[in-house]
Amino acid sequence: MMRRFLLIAVVVFGCCGVYAQAPVGTLAADDTARQDAMSARIRDAETALEQGDYKGAAAKLKGLAAEWPKDAHVLYDLGFAEERVGDEVGAAQAYADAIAADAAMGEPRVALGLMDARGGRMEKARQELMGAANLTSAAPEWRGRALRALAAMDEAGNPDAAREELLGAVQLTGETSADVLMGADLASKAGDDADAETAYRRALTLDAGSVDAVAGLAHSLVRQQKYAEAETLLGDALKAHPDDARLVSQMAAVYAAEDKAALAIPLMEKLRAAQPALAADESTTRLLAHLYAQNGQNAEAEKLYRTLVARDAKDPSLLDDLGGVLVKEMHYAEAEAVLSRAVANRDGFATPQDWGEAAEHLAYAASKNKDPRVSLQALAARATVLPNSPASLFLEAIDHDALHETKDAAKAYRAFLAVAGGKFPDEEFQARHRLVALDAMK
């Protein structure tokens, strides 16, 4: 809170009664004494605020507010003190009274808006903060603070509005390192990875030790597939922050993208052992499970995926991951059952393409489980969202072949050979061999 000295109104006494009989010099002395006493009480309250004695300050300020119920500054300070002792109802009333006492004052509007935002009363907070931001009589600093708060509120759901609000704040008070970082975050959320990278690098020039800027830059680099740059950046940052869960997880994800799961696994295991809360965290557990699967440690991956599925049996992407590991372990019957549950929940996938890939996984598991009809049904579902691939065409061919659907099998084998281009020598050899056999059956 910006400190400022509380203003004191001059008390004017009538010239009647006892005061009319007193000498003029006596009246002046009495007025001065009262003003000095009031000033001392205000200084005591301000000292308590500055020293963090919010309970003592609140008690002093309540007395002042009772005597001066229209002093906006006293009321604002009272709200500030009461908020910090946990009396949000009293604080809200004091801030509202301060606004009523002086509609041109920005501080209580911002304070009330921020308090409501922290309490989840977002619509009310938005109205109060917009009122402060548009209050031309308020100090630029407070208007800027309101705009930055609005930008933070809009960052996730309305990044375009957040950008405008942040720009407005910068125009009022100048740019801060926090503004640069928020601008980078907004660019990242908007998918402008190149702009985000530039902004994060600028943020690091302003604050070289900012872990938030490092993490944001690493994220932008990964999305641009600049894995080597991200690895170097994170490696340097981890020297200073070896136990930072976000940086460790990002480095593990970079290693995974570079097919270096063996390097990532010890990092994640150490992190989870050092911070027990992370052992129960879904994202870190899922990352480690993915790394185990990538590294061929299927039993370890299965164990973690089963733990995650037990917590959320309706998450189709988790079922898809578990089914994939079961396929690697050649547990085809269970894999088919698990993947069937995943594909049945189409709306639970992030994108239609993700659902299509899960359908292909189901088709493969069903085919290996000698269930070609289910495999073909899954391939037909896949084809509604994804184009045919060499793998899907070959799988379709062997399914029709298993069902003795000779014409459809031959058609699929030829379609596979037309796109394989020598990249699948074993499957291409099998396709040619089966076409000869199928032609002989005519």
The confidence score (pLDDT) of residue 14 equals: 28
CATH 1.25.40.10, the chain: domain bounds: 213-311
Q: Which of 107, 86, 85, 81 is nearest to 96 (CA)?
A: 107
For tokens 């085919």, the residue is 367
Contact between 416 and 390 under an 8 Å Cβ cutoff? The reply is: yes
Tell me the CA distances in angstroms from 215 to 94, 137, 241, 317, 318, one per residue in order: 40, 39, 12, 26, 26
Rounded Cα distance between 81 and 52, Å, is 9
Structure tokens at 415: 């379609």
Task: Give the rounded distance of the alpha carbon of 57 from its chain centre.
Answer: 37
CB atoms within 10 A of CB 344: 11
Q: Which of 226, 263, 267 is nearest to 248 (CA)?
A: 267
- Reply yes or no on domain 213-311 having CATH 1.25.40.10: yes
- Angle between the N-to-C axes of helices 211-223 and 177-189, in degrees from 0 to 180, rounded to the nearest 10: 30
Length of the chain: 442
Rounded Cα distance between 214 and 222, Å, is 12
Span 387-421, pLDDT tens digits: 999 999 999 999 999 999 999 999 999 999 999 99
Rounded Cα distance between 300 and 127, Å, is 52
Contact between 430 and 409 under an 8 Å Cβ cutoff? The reply is: no
Digit-by-digit pLDDT tens for the chain (442 residues) are: 333 333 323 222 223 332 233 344 444 555 566 676 777 788 888 888 889 898 998 898 898 889 888 988 999 999 899 999 999 999 899 999 999 999 999 999 999 999 999 999 999 999 999 999 999 999 999 999 999 999 999 988 888 899 999 999 999 999 989 999 999 999 998 889 999 999 999 999 999 999 999 999 999 999 999 999 999 999 999 999 998 999 999 999 999 999 999 999 999 999 999 988 888 899 999 999 999 999 999 999 999 999 999 999 989 999 999 999 999 999 999 999 999 999 999 999 999 999 999 999 999 999 999 999 999 999 999 999 999 999 999 999 999 999 999 999 999 999 999 999 999 999 999 999 999 999 888 6
Compute and round to an integer the Cα radius of gyration of the chain: 34
What is the pTM for the complete model shown? Answer: 0.74
Helices (H) and strands (E) in the chain, counts: 25, 0
